[in-house]
Amino acid sequence: MKSVVSYIMAVSTVAIAAVAHAEVGGDATRGEDLYRQCASCHQIGADAVDRVGPQLNGIFDRAAGQSDGFRYSRGMERAAAGGLVWTYDTLDAYIEDPRSLVSNTRMSFRGLEEQQDRDDVLAYLRLFSDNPRDIPESAPTAAAIDHEVAPEILAIVGDPAYGEYLSGECTACHQTSGAASGIPSITHWPSEDFVIAMHAYKDGVRLHPVMQMMAGRLSNEEIAALAAYFKDIE
């Protein structure tokens, strides 16, 4: 209960502090550029669906934790139960430092320090909230795919039991609870995103040396097994 109370206080403090810049408005075009770093997890636009993170159409004035079917972290569920609503001010606070607003969120994002950057991203997000009728009838504006993986590899059905054993190599760094600071969460990722990300490391498209080494010696079946395990991990 204490956490909920302190959370509500935190939100109201933020709200007061944030009124001043809420009127300023940002540059949605620049925001679209900045949104690329969000797009690896959050789709937005026509046909956007939940992936690693929930889709963000209509996020303004939506209660937190309300995208149907998305498995939120316990931290976000707590925040939602405490009455968090996504307004300009709460979104601003959240993308500045996700964990300071919602402790234990799975959103592994370091945050946008600059007020201008946040204003611009929020201006871009607002396009998909204020005028939903204007959302173009095309593919999602921002999709997560940064690497092509052959359909036959994506079609492999992984063995979660084998994935559980292999996951020992992941859990030396990645916490199964989804807690993330410095090392991102990989809990409850959709299998396809997991497989694409691992092949991107394996193929040297994503650059992190530890992940390249880890993914580099995993077979297609092993990657599928890990994806199957982390998708439904308790």
Partner 1 sequence: MKFNRRAFIGTAAAAASTFAAPLLVRADGHAKPRVVIVGGGAGGATAARYIAKDSNGEIDVTLIEPTRTYYTCFFSNLYLGGFRSMESLGHSYGTLAGEYGINVVHDWATGVDRDAKTVATAGGHTIPYDRLILSPGIDFVDGAVAGWDVTSQNAMPHAYKAGSQTELLRAQIEAMPQGGTYAMVAPPNPFRCPPGPYERVSMVAHMLKETNPTAKILIADPKEKFSKQGLFEAGWNDHYAGMIERVGPDFGGDNVEVDPNAMTLSIDGDVTNVDVCNVIPAMKAGKIAEIAGITEGNWAPVNAADLSSKMDENIHVLGDACAQGDMPKSGFSANSQAKVCANAVRGALTGSTVFPARFANTCWSLIDTNDGVKVGASYEATDEKIAKVDGFISEVGESAEVRQATFEESVGWYDGITADMFG
Per CB under 8 A, residues contacting partner 1 are: 110, 161-162, 164-166, 168-169, 171-177, 179-183, 209-210, 212-214, 216-217, 219, 221-222
Residue closer to partner 1 by CB (options 192, 221) is: 221
- What is the per-residue DSSP string for 92-140? HHHHH-HHHHSTT----------HHHHHHHHHHHHHHHH-GGGS-SSS-
Q: Measuring CA to CA, how many Å separate 133 from each of 1, 12, 57, 127, 211?
A: 40, 32, 11, 10, 41
Residue closer to partner 1 by CB (options 115, 175) is: 175
CB of 180 to partner 1, least distance (A): 7
CB of 145 to partner 1, least distance (A): 24
Residue closer to partner 1 by CB (options 132, 216) is: 216
> Both tokens of residue 80?
């939602």
Q: Measuring CA to CA, how many Å separate 4 from each of 1, 10, 71, 97, 99?
A: 5, 10, 20, 18, 14
- DSSP structural state of residue 62: P
CB of 179 to partner 1, least distance (A): 7
Residues 6+ apart with CB under 8 A from 163: 225, 226, 227, 228, 229, 230
CB of 206 to partner 1, least distance (A): 14
d(CA 107, CA 112): 13
Residue closer to partner 1 by CB (options 29, 171) is: 171
CB of 27 to partner 1, least distance (A): 24
Whether the Cβ atoms of residue 5 and residue 18 lie closer than 8 Å to each other: no
Residue closer to partner 1 by CB (options 67, 187) is: 187
Residue closer to partner 1 by CB (options 17, 210) is: 210
CB of 62 to partner 1, least distance (A): 30
